[in-house]
Amino acid sequence: MLPHSGNIVSYRLLIRKDPITGQSVVISSSLSEKMDLFIRKTDWKLVESLMYSSAKKCPFCIKNLTLEAPKFPRNLGIPEPLSKGEAIVIPNLYPQWEHHAVVILTKDHFILPNQITGQHLRDGLVCSLKYFKSIHQNFPESYFASINLNYLHPAGATLPHPHLQLLVSSIPTNHQKLLLKREIKFSEKYRKRIWEELVFEEQKRNQRYLGNSSGVHWILPYSPLGDYEIRAIFPTSNFLDLKEEEIETFCYIVSNIISKYQKLGISSFNFSLIGYLCTKFEKSSNITFSIVPRQNIYENYRNDINFLGFLQNTRFLIYSPEDYFCIFQTIFES
Ligand SMILES: [Zn+2]
């Protein structure tokens, strides 16, 4: 409670701990009326101008790609070109990981969130899995893998042209290392997978469980990393085991979520699909997916991760997942 102009004003802060990672978030729904201080509506005209101004020299646009695209070393046995539909995989010119490739998702440079279709994503994922297969054949010890997206600048994208980032390595990212540690500890103690137990609990409580589609469970996390985060849990831990039906349905749901984000005025987001290229963790782990909006684009937008999130690894949110359950439940009703 705080004194304010002679009156006492009280704020309700909810502190939640993620049941898998143990990390805390702070949720202050009292501040939803002061939303403008933290997140303003997207300036779509500014989004358009960012897209147009970057198009001329975009290395992912087809006219520049033929001249400038880097090639994979031939001894990796990666098909050349590695492509399907509009999607094409190229090595990352500025790698940030042991094996780091980029999937250009669309021919067009100017793509708004609701123009990223299930087919774009499906073709991108099919290519990603072929890339994973080639890397796995050449580097069997590199079995930590992920498929990632930064959409627009607040999410960390250097270019607005939609593209996936593929990471493969013999060491996990810090987040995957933490997940694996918790997954193994749980399976050794209870002889089952922690994600399956979480799904079971969420189904029982029916406050955040969205649905099951082709064996993939969709939930709102109890303790999200950002407002409107959605997660999915696959039945396997091994990317190389994914079936076409699972990929197809998954991608159409992701495109529906992204369209819904745009309807909510959200213009920037990240996603990560994290798993393995082996069967070593089949008893403990699952492929998991998370999609999280980032700050909207408007003039002089503030970053949504301040000292609390960046240096102290504690996210600050306005909405609890139960507040936005109804918005996303509709995707799974049809
Ligand atoms: Zn482009």
Question: Measured in angstroms, how far is the CA atom of residue 86 from the centroid of ligand 1?
Answer: 13
Environment class of 204 (CB within 10 Å of its CB; exposed 0-12, middle 13-18, buried 19+): exposed
- Show the tokens assigned to 194: 């922690």
pLDDT at 2 over 70: no
The pLDDT value given to residue 63: 81
Residues 259-275 pLDDT 10s? 999 999 999 999 999 99
Closest C-alpha to 165, from 278, 69, 274, 62: 274
Q: How many angstroms is it from 112 CA to the middle of ligand 1?
A: 13
Q: What's the CA-to-centroid distance between 52 and ligand 1, angstroms?
A: 9
Ligand 1 centre distance from Cα of residue 270 (Å): 19
Domain ranges of the chain: 14-332
User: Separation of 74 CA from ligand 1 center, angstroms?
Assistant: 26
Percent of the chain with pLDDT over 70: 98
Domain 14-332 carries which CATH code? 3.30.428.10
Residue 122 near residue 251 (C-beta atoms within 8 A): yes
Centre of ligand 1 to C-alpha 55, Å, is 5
CA of 146 from ligand 1 middle (Å) equals 23
Full strand arrangement of the beta sheet holding 230-233? 82-84, 87-91, 99-104, 163-169, 144-151, 269-276, 288-293, 230-233, 216-219, 209-213
The rounded Å distance from CA 272 to ligand 1 centre is 22
Looking at residue 64, what is its pLDDT?
81
Residue 40: band (very low, low, confident or very high) from pLDDT cuts 50, 70, 90: confident
Q: What is the full DSSP assignment across 169-214?
A: ESS--HHHHHHHHHHHHHHHHHSS-HHHHHHHHHHHH-SSEEEEET
The Å distance, Cα 95 to ligand 1 centre, comes to: 19
How many angstroms does the Cα of residue 160 sit away from the middle of ligand 1?
7
pLDDT mean over 114-138: 97
Q: What is the pLDDT of residue 3?
A: 56
311: which residues sit within 8 A by CB, 6+ positions away?
none
pLDDT digits (tens, 9 = 90+) for 261-316: 999 999 999 999 999 999 999 999 999 999 999 999 999 999 999 999 999 999 99
Cα(114) to ligand 1 centroid in Å equals 17
| CA 108 / ligand 1 centre spacing (Å) | 7
Question: DSSP E strands: which ranges in the chain?
Answer: 2-4, 7-9, 14-17, 24-27, 82-84, 87-91, 99-104, 144-151, 163-169, 209-213, 216-219, 230-233, 269-276, 288-293, 315-317
C-alpha 54 to ligand 1 mean position (Å): 7
At 263 the three-state DSSP class reads helix
Q: Is 62 helix (H, G, I), strand (E, B) or coil?
A: helix
Q: What is the crossing angle of helices 244-263 and 118-138, to 10°?
A: 130
Alpha-carbon 104 to chain mean position: 16
Crossing angle of the two packed helices 194-205 and 174-190, in degrees rounded to 10? 80
How many alpha carbons lie under 13 Å from residue 147 in its C-beta half-sphere?
28
**Separation of CA 159 and ligand 1 centre (Å):** 8
Ion ligand 1: residues, Cβ under 5 Å: 58, 60-61, 109, 161
CA angle 69, 74, 76 (to 5 degrees): 105
Distance CA 63, CA 65 (A): 6
Q: What is the whole-number distance in angstroms between the Cα of residue 49 and the centre of ligand 1?
A: 14
Q: How far is the CA of 115 from the centre of ligand 1 (A)?
A: 15
